[in-house]
């Protein structure tokens, strides 16, 4: 049912996702879908979340190499045109729907998990300000990818990970 939901999102957009359509395309009974996802918004967020793999948490012993490997691991998600379009459509819908916004934020917080681990290790090694909030650091890490994804998707391939990491480190350094 999540794959069918994601397919509908990819091909037809968020407006086309209905329990009836998901049931029809997935072959799963509508009652089963309702049982797992009592709200359409829960179904939408689960479908988007299920379309992306949780990146591995690199542990190279230093923040620079960990960030480089992390960005390299998540860049393909931003390069995927279908996933980018689906995510942007979900974000736009969340701006108008408080329940969807809460669900989307929870999804983003889950994505912060690997970065939180990276930053905790860096704090323990004294590489970043011990008072730095993880959510602020997250903005600096994924910010360049999100901005390019929104405004310059054709420039994502040109993103120099090494230069981006150097810029991030200048901001995060104690």
Query: Based on the domain organization, do 24 and 82 belong to the same domain?
Result: no
Query: Based on the domain organization, do 19 and 64 belong to the same domain?
Result: no
Query: Based on the domain organization, do 7 and 36 belong to the same domain?
Result: yes
Domain annotation covers residue 46: no
Task: Give per-residue pLDDT as tens, 106-157.
Answer: 777 766 788 889 989 999 999 988 888 877 778 878 888 888 888 888 888 8
- Rounded to an integer, what distance in angstroms lies between the CA atom of residue 89 and that of residue 159? 23
- pTM, rounded to two decimals: 0.80
CATH code of the domain covering residue 153: 1.10.357.10
Query: Based on the domain organization, do 78 and 137 belong to the same domain?
Result: yes
> Which residues lie below 8 Å from residue 127, measured CB to CB, with a gap of 6+?
62, 63, 173, 174
- Rounded to an integer, what distance in angstroms lies between the CA atom of residue 55 and that of residue 143? 17
Q: What is the pLDDT of residue 16?
A: 94
Q: Is the pLDDT of residue 73 over 80?
A: yes
CATH code of the domain covering residue 7: 1.10.10.60
Residue 33: CB atoms within 10 A of its CB come to 21
Task: Give per-residue pLDDT as tens, 61-72.
Answer: 999 999 999 999
- Rounded to an integer, what distance in angstroms lies between the CA atom of residue 32 and that of residue 28? 7
Range of the domain at 6: 2-40
Query: Based on the domain organization, do 6 and 84 belong to the same domain?
Result: no
């Amino acid at each position: 049912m999540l794959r069918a939901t994601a397919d509908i999102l990819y091909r037809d957009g968020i407006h086309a996702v209905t329990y009836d359509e998901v049931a029809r395309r997935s072959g799963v009974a509508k009652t089963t879908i309702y049982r797992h996802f009592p709200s359409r918004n829960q179904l939408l967020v689960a479908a988007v979340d299920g379309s992306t793999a949780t990146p591995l948490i690199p542990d190279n012993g230093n923040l620079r190499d960990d960030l480089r490997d992390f960005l390299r691991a998540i860049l393909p998600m931003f390069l995927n045109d279908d996933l980018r379009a689906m995510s942007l459509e979900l974000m736009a819908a969340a701006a108008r729907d408080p329940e969807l916004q809460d669900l989307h934020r929870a999804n983003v917080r889950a994505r912060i998990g690997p970065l939180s681990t990276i930053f905790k290790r860096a704090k323990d090694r004294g590489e970043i300000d011990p008072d730095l909030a993880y959510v602020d650091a997250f903005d600096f890490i994924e910010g360049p990818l999100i901005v390019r994804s929104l405004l310059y998707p054709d420039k994502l391939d040109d993103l120099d990970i090494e230069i981006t990491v150097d810029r991030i480190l200048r901001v995060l350094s104690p």
